[in-house]
Chain A
Amino acid sequence: KAGVTQTPRYLIKTRGQQVTLSCSPISGHRSVSWYQQTPGQGLQFLFEYFSETQRNKGNFPGRFSGRQFSNSRSEMNVSTLELGDSALYLCASSFIAGSYEQYFGPGTRLTVT
């Protein structure tokens, strides 16, 4: 069974631009969560989607948004990029929503200059 895939793997953007990251969960998994990982803050929860609905949201500004499609694929968007948005963005999928085991993708390394 294929794992979680994320595209692109690396991205360099300029301050003020916007970016869209994509995540394809493991086949059959309907829940997708997004995390931001930085050396200073560690792994921080962004949001979780299940059946195209946002179930949970972390403490991030409104510049961070996401959505999930009917095939469970998910995208997250960051508008008006700031230098502090440079991070590894990880997507994790699980079979159902709730506190169950999550399988992480390789992440997208975003660098904002």
Chain B
Amino acid sequence: QQPVQSPQAVILREGEDAVINCSSSKALYSVHWYRQKHGEAPVFLMILLKGGEQKGHEKISASFNEKKQQSSLYLTASQLSYSGTYFCGTAGIQGAQKLVFGQGTRLTINP
């Protein structure tokens, strides 16, 4: 079943923070975050594995609450280059490559 992302779209000014959420109705083993710019391929950001760990990537970090089957992506002090559509992909079984992606969250950063 497809995870639900919220919000569907968000518009920020450069320097502002954003949080994108990803919720699943199924038990999750891993959550994968990707960013896709218009006309380009999705680019891998990070994976969070079962265990509730938090990861960071420059000013982008994420958390994974396995009890709630939720993951959140945090973008702090956003830059123009952060604009794009963010997708979460979920896998419910260790070793399962079949990722199910959410519908995406479109992030627009204005100067």
**A interface secondary structure, majority:** strand
Residue in A50, A55, A102 whose CB lies within 8 Å of B44? A102
Determine whether the beta carbon of A33 is less than 8 Å from that of B97: yes
Q: Which residue of A lies closest to B97 (CB)?
A: A48
Docked complex Cα distance between A92 and B34 (Å): 12
Q: Which residues of A contact B (CB under 8 A)?
A: 4, 31, 33, 35, 42-45, 48, 50, 55-56, 58, 90, 94, 97-107
A-B CB contact pairs (8 Å), 17 listed: A33-B97, A42-B2, A42-B101, A43-B42, A45-B99, A50-B97, A56-B98, A58-B98, A90-B41, A99-B32, A99-B93, A99-B99, A101-B47, A102-B32, A102-B44, A104-B43, A104-B44
Q: Which residues of B contact A (CB under 8 A)?
A: 2, 29-30, 32, 34, 40-44, 47, 49, 87, 89, 91, 93-104
